[in-house]
Homo-oligomer: A and B are copies of this chain.
Amino acid sequence: MDVREEILKAAARLYCETGFRGTTTRGIAREAGVNEVTVFRHFGSKEALLREAIGRQWGGGGCGPLALESRGDPLAELQEWAKGMTGGLRQMAPLIRTRLGEFEEHPEIVPPRGSPPAQAAEMLTRYLEELRSAGVARADFDARMAAAMLMAALFADGIVRDGLPDMFHENIDSSIEEYVRIFLRGLGVAA
On chain A, the number of residues with a Cβ less than 8 Å from chain B's Cβ atoms is: 59
The one of B102, B155, B186 in contact with A182, judged by C-beta atoms closer than 8 angstroms, is: B186
Q: How far is the CA of A183 from the CA of B156 in the complex (A)?
A: 16
Binary flags per residue of A170-191, CB closer than 8 Å to B gives 1, else 0: 0000110011011111111000
Contact between chains at B188 and A145 (CB < 8 Å)? no
List the one stretch of A4-12, A15-23, A60-68 in contact with chain B.
Answer: A15-23
* Interface flag for A121 (CB, 8 Å): yes
Contact between chains at A148 and B169 (CB < 8 Å)? yes
List residues of chain A with CB under 8 Å of any chain B CB.
17-19, 21-22, 94, 97-105, 112-115, 117-118, 121, 141-142, 144-146, 148-157, 159-160, 162-169, 174-175, 178-179, 181-188
